Amino acid sequence: MADRTNEPTWGHRWGFADTRFVLNDDDSVTLTGSRYELCGYKMHDFLPYVREVLGLDPDFKEKRPEVDPKPVPAPRKNRRFCRRLGNFYRPDQYTFDDRERLVHSHGQTSADEVFRVIYSQLERVADMVIYPEAEKDCAMLVALARTMDVCLVPYGGGTSVSCALKLPVSEERMIVSVDMRRMNRVEWIDRENQRALVQAGITGEELERRLGEAGYVSGHEPDSIELSTLGGWIATHASGMKKNRYGNIEDIVEQVTLITPSGRVEHLTASPRVSMGMQPQNLFFGSEGNLGLITSAVIKIHPRPRVQRYGSLVFPDFAQGVSFLRNLAETSFVPASIRLVDNVQFRFGQALKPRATGSAAVLDRLKKYFVLKVKGFDPQQMSAATILMEGSHEEVSFQENGLYRLAKKYGGLPGGSENGRRGYRLTFAIAYIRDFLSDFHILGETFETSVPWDRIHQVCDAVVAQAQDRHQELDLPGRPYVSYRITQVYHTGVCIYFMFGFYAKGVEDPETVFSQIEHSLRQAIIDAGGSISHHHGVGKLRSEFMKHTLSSRGIRLLKQIKRATDPNNVFGIRNNVLDD
């Protein structure tokens, strides 16, 4: 894995600056750069797919004008704080630069943050950005902010899609964004006990690269692995695509160090498991910047798997695929990752492929003939699953044999390892599509939920129906784009990941309209039996739904813990139950 620690990113938009979707003269689309498998070839079927699913022909000749230069207000400076800070921090450890301040004032929530930065203006911008390099820097900073009445906001990779980094407009104090990414070291690796002490600012990709040099992996692989950080994973209660083998973040982390205005909080020793009564550390998972700075964690590590094998399955429809997953969850051969997409996303994946030529084109036609004519699959109903298996040769062979044998009972056909690999890796590149489409007035976002097995279809149907109803009520152009996939399998249910979008040209205040619809879709999820979130967290985007998630006494308890830990609200980002 290459070292991409210092490679430039877009800043406000998603991802790396060498990568973007561009429109070609022949109506095809190309992804620039070379870091993803989608890069470098023409996608002739992408725009026809967009036209089909939206039910109209978007104007791809005229881009939505981007605000340039972007308005950034003068910083609010706490003079005493700034003077004292200079006694402890070097000049290259803090900045008032307008671009850095703006980049550190938002996450990646589409309508509420990114679109407002690119096409209009944020309501509140950070006043200073600070880059601590050691835990002592963090402790000094928190103590100084408490004394000088300054607001601190932890910042990791900036990938939040829950408005967790959206700064409170009502905050009158100087807001300092604390960028943790210089704290990116693996402090030690304990080979005997298979654990490592890691600083919280390390990105997932960098973590895997450094562990890989020693022959290990952490196994936590979210879609945002290239940019998101260990501290951010803990703060949002994150999940990764290989959860089945390595666990969610709470299963991977053994010990967390948190610097609060009341001092350093941590378990004094890391342990596989301990029965010690109530554990303060459990509150750090999902704390969303409300309690302090996460500076480091002891994590479990695993020897690099000897075998990594991809696979794929095609089902007659989504319902058959769900039945397969339900049965699979009860077996002993659940792979590291298995994801089931609906027909809309299945066709989306096909639209991103290059057009086959020569013998490859002949083979594709034969495969299509077999699936559609011999097996009788309907191309408007087909569903597909991508699979990743990791472990020893024996483990992977056991999983592979069991998977394909079980799939036959539900009409599943093997789709090949290449389709599995491509489908798995596709997730890292498709995030760039949002920003490409937004330039042409197409707004899109993803959101997720966890659902019991018996509510999967009700939740999916409720979201589709609500999106269509709101689209019609608001008299929006064309049709709404709604699709879904199951990304995680549990004993009692699954994680469903939704994609939603619509064409907004001519729509007055489209960002507000988008947010209102997204809010109603979340309500539909909860009403149908889904959860507030599976791994994106709550932030401010979903804070209103906490009353459907936690009892009033539970909410009061969390607020009391916040007051006891941070009585002056130094960490004033106000996420979750603390949202205004």
Query: Could you tell me the two tokens for 433?
Result: 């599509």
Assess contact for 53 and 344: CB atoms under 8 A. yes
DSSP string, 381-426: T-EEEEEEEEE-HHHHHHHHHHHHHHHHTTT-EE--HHHHHHHHHH
Residue 297 phi, psi (nearest 5): -155, 145
Residue 127's alpha-carbon distances to 94, 101, 135, 305, 511, in angstroms, are 11, 6, 23, 45, 25
* 337-341/263-265 β-pairing: unpaired
Q: Which amino acid is at 71?
A: P
* Helix, strand, coil fractions of the chain, as percent rounded to 5: 35, 20, 45
Q: Where are the beta strands (DSSP E) in 504-541?
A: none
The stretches of 247-284 forming alpha helices (DSSP H) are: 249-252
Helix (H) or strand (E) holding 82: helix 79-85
Q: Where are the beta strands (DSSP E) in 392-523?
A: 413-414, 442-452, 481-489, 493-503
Q: Measured in whole angstroms, how far is the alpha carbon of residue 179 from the centre of its chain?
A: 19
User: For this structure, is 497 an active site residue?
Assistant: yes
| Integer Cα distance of 290 and 194 in angstroms | 31
* Number of CB atoms found within 10 A of residue 161's CB: 24
Check residue 485 and report its DSSP letter.
Answer: E
| Integer Cα distance of 501 and 400 in angstroms | 36
Query: Could you tell me the two tokens for 204?
Result: 């997932």
| Integer Cα distance of 197 and 182 in angstroms | 16
Q: Measured in whole angstroms, how far is the alpha carbon of residue 391 from the centre of its chain?
A: 26
| Integer Cα distance of 165 and 234 in angstroms | 15
Q: Measured in whole angstroms, how far is the alpha carbon of residue 18 from the centre of its chain?
A: 21
Residue 147 phi, psi (nearest 5): -70, -40
Angle, vertex CA 368, rays to CA 367 and CA 371, nearest 5: 85
Assess contact for 226 and 217: CB atoms under 8 A. no
Number of H helices, E strands in the chain: 18, 21
Q: Is 178 in a helix, a strand, or coil?
A: strand
Helix (H) or strand (E) holding 259: strand 253-260
DSSP string, 184-217: --EEEEETTTTEEEEETT-BHHHHHHHHHHTTEE
Which residue among 310, 484, 497, 503 is the active-site one?
497
Q: What residues are labeled active site?
A: 497
